[in-house]
Amino acid sequence: MPELPEVETIRHGLSELIGCKVGDIFRSDKKLRIGSTLDLSLLNHKILNKINRRARYLILDFSGEYSLIVHLGMSGSIVLNSKDSATKNKLAQNKIEAKKHTKHDHFICEFNNGARLVFNDPRRFGFIDLIYTQNLWQYKMLAKLGPEPLLAQFNAQYLAKKLCHKKTNIKTTMMDNEIVVGVGNIYINESLFASAISPLRSASSLTKDEIAKLVKNIKNILKKAIKLGGSSINDYVNHEGEKGNFQNNFKVYGNNGKKCLLCNDIITKIVQNGRSSFYCKNCQK
């Protein structure tokens, strides 16, 4: 499932499209989580100026006029099919070819350099929305977001202020996009383990030291995941159709019933607000 490191990996991978002009566009008639505000065909002949990421949203700016906002949801992927990557990486290209005509391709955009951007999402939790760039930061889903976890604004002092009156458990709280963005289920489970904090603790019960440790570990774990190209559980592939490698570094996520790497106790799985949490009762207090 694409979380911040996966989206960042894709953003980086798409940068070769910057400066290219849009050719043909395909849009499936399948309903995604939300429909597009503007007609996607408005992108015809526009030039891709830049690609940004905010939280888990990819934002593609076209000619300074239109912004294409992409969220990959649970099972979404963006694959770039170009002549260059075909010669560079035959295996990845084969995977792309296999995906070329699947029923879950919802948006395909061809560029004048021969590249073909394909948005595929079997479960349709993701979406693609086209809006005017001048309205970008008023966009409903971008307007109320908390700080980026890798920027200096997300620090122990900031988090302490946010947590001091929160009665909800720390795990659910840290997945709230108004507190910090892009920290999904995998990375909060791993960060709490690294910080020796139980996911059941109320957010306001954390000490200053624990908050500092948690902030540090969230940053470190996200950075490491980006370096390894994200995590692949079932669906995630990068822009070349390849899987990430961070899943091999999971210490608790999905490891219920297995031994804790630190103390040999058994990793427990619980459900908090409908989401699975994995933790070591012995190490995480």
- Residues lying near DNA in the complex (CB under 7 A): 1, 3, 30-31, 33, 55-57, 71, 73-75, 103-104, 122-125, 140-141, 165-169, 172, 175, 177, 184-186, 234, 271, 273-276
Active site annotation includes 2: yes
Considering the complex, what minimum distance in angstroms separates the CB of residue 37 from DNA?
13
CB of 30 to DNA, least distance (A): 7
5: Cβ–Cβ under 8 A, 6 or more apart, which residues? Answer: 187, 222, 225, 226, 229, 230, 231, 244, 246
Output the smallest distance, CB 22 to DNA, in A: 26
- Catalytic: 199? no
Contacts 24+ apart (CB under 8 A), 157-163: 159/211, 159/214, 159/215, 160/208, 160/211, 163/203, 163/204, 163/206, 163/211
Residue whose token pair is 């200053």 = 208
The dihedrals phi and psi of 46, each to the nearest 5 degrees, come to -85, 160
- Which residue type does 147 have? P
Our measurement of the distance from residue 12's CA atom to the centroid of its chain's CA atoms, rounded to an integer in Å, reads: 13
- Rank residues 95 and 104 by Cβ distance to DNA and give the closer one: 104
Nearer of residues 1 and 260 to DNA, judged by Cβ: 1
Which residue number, 110 or 235, has a Cβ lying nearer to DNA? 235
Nearer to DNA, 234 or 264 (CB): 234
Task: Compute the least distance from the CB of residue 67 to DNA, in Å.
Answer: 16
> Catalytic residues, which ones?
2-3
